[in-house]
Amino acid sequence: MKILVVGGGGREHALAWKLAQSPRVEAILAAPGSAALESLAECHPDVAAADLDAVVKLAREQAADLVVVGPEDPLAAGLADRLRAEGIATFGPSAAAAQLEGSKAFAKDFMERHGIPTAQHRAFDDVDAALAYVAERGGRCVVKADGLAAGKGVAMCETPADAESALREIMQDRRFGEAGSRVVIEDWLEGEEASYYAISDGKNFVTLAAAQDHKRLLDGDEGENTGGMGTYSPAPVVDPQVEAKILERVVRPTIQGMAAEGHPFVGVLFVGLMVDAAGDPQVIEFNVRFGDPETQSLMVRMDGDLADLLDSAARGRLDPDLELGWGDAAVCVVLASGGYPRSYSTGYGIRGLAQAESAEGVVVFHAGTRRGADGGFETAGGRVLGVTARGESVEVARDRAYAAVEAIDFEGAHHRTDIAYRALARA
């Protein structure tokens, strides 16, 4: 089987790394790929993930047996529809189904229609009306850009003044571009966050292990929201009782609801959840692709054949009773550029990669790197590396990941020092 992976970040590095372990996979292509992916895939740096025509042409010319779409933007733009029209098996939802991530307002309305638990909310496309609403309601709230913002278009607002600042930044200053032309203002949910995944062929689904992301920039869940500063799996907050509720109240009605509305969901449904003190889950958001950096932890922990799983889903042949093997635990720590998630500089040489990857159980996934003039890697993004480790417990995996982090250095490097703290507090 020849697989084309669309994208070139840390998520795609982790997917290609896992796909390459399948005995069915003869070759992996990546568009655009990255310098780090060259050891796993034939990269096509001239084919941007957002260039739908070029991706379809590449898949056709290379006779790809399966296309796995990593980022959300091409999915929302209809890449999966285009590929399927060419008769190419594709893992990723249609543009209609991708609205679950592409529009927060669409997702909220969908959840209301199907009785899926989520925070109370209101949507606004007028900044003055939004400002009046937050001033009137008072207290804490969450302000979200309605459109795609690379996981960063969310502001956790402790006060109405915080909400006003966020609204002006999103709707007037357009920090996230057109994604901020409309906003959703939600109630602040209390509890513990979790990430849950289901692979679906449009009718049946198979679940993956739960994970927990650390969205805030600083230790103790302080600072701005980011695309994710680290993850771990399993997440103890998702015990068997909580998982049963997630399946019955969220995953099953979502898959069934999308099919009933004429938009069967084919791909990975990523549910961001808040689990309250009673163990009841509420949906924070839907994503329609693998999360980043959750994927890094999940792929290192997963023992099953990813290629078989994604191919069967793409072809409508998913076995709902399929059992996937999982190792005990995995932890991913993100190394970010100084200044992320705001402005940051790039082009700094990265030292210590070989030493870090020589440690037991460690894999370093590249999210934002490129080749430097000396042939080594240098920084090329906000989130630079996902230092990931597997172990017989979350604590062992955490210790291995942080030992590897200490071996790596580049100018301005920043990371959280408390990834997996909630799991360890339960131990």
Task: Decide: 329 and 301 in contact? Cβ < 8 Å.
Answer: yes
Helix (H) or strand (E) holding 216: strand 216-218
> What is the reported pLDDT for 323?
82
> What is the reported pLDDT for 176?
86
What are the beta bridge partners of residue 213? 231
Q: Domains of the chain by range and CATH?
A: 2-94 (3.40.50.20), 126-181 (3.30.1490.20), 190-314 (3.30.470.20), 329-426 (3.90.600.10)
Task: Decide: 85 and 23 in contact? Cβ < 8 Å.
Answer: no
What are the beta bridge partners of residue 157? 141
> What is the reported pLDDT for 234?
97
Identify whether 93 is preceded by a cis peptide bond (ω within 30 of 0).
no
Residues of the chain with pLDDT under 70: 150-152, 427
Residue 117, Cβ density class (10 Å: 0-12 exposed, 13-18 middle, ≥19 buried) = middle
Task: Decide: 76 and 14 in contact? Cβ < 8 Å.
Answer: no
Collect all residues with Cβ–Cβ distance below 8 Å to 229 and sequence separation of at least 6: 214, 215, 216, 217, 333, 334, 336, 415, 416, 419
> What is the reported pLDDT for 225?
85
> What is the reported pLDDT for 202?
97
pLDDT tens by residue, 311-358? 999 999 999 888 889 999 999 999 999 999 999 999 999 999 999 999
Calculate helix-pair angle for 10-19, 294-301, nearest 10 degrees.
20
Furthest CA-CA distance within the chain? 60
HEC string of 291-305 equals CCCHHHHHHHHECCC
SS3 62: coil
DSSP annotation of 318 reads -
> What is the reported pLDDT for 220?
95
What is the DSSP track for 320-389?
Answer: TTPPPPB-SEEEEEEEE-TTTTS------B-B-HHHHHTSTTEEEEESSEEE-TTSSEEE-SSEEEEEEE
> What is the reported pLDDT for 151?
64
pLDDT tens by residue, 167-216? 999 998 898 888 788 898 998 989 999 999 999 999 999 999 999 999 99
Structure tokens at 395: 């604590």
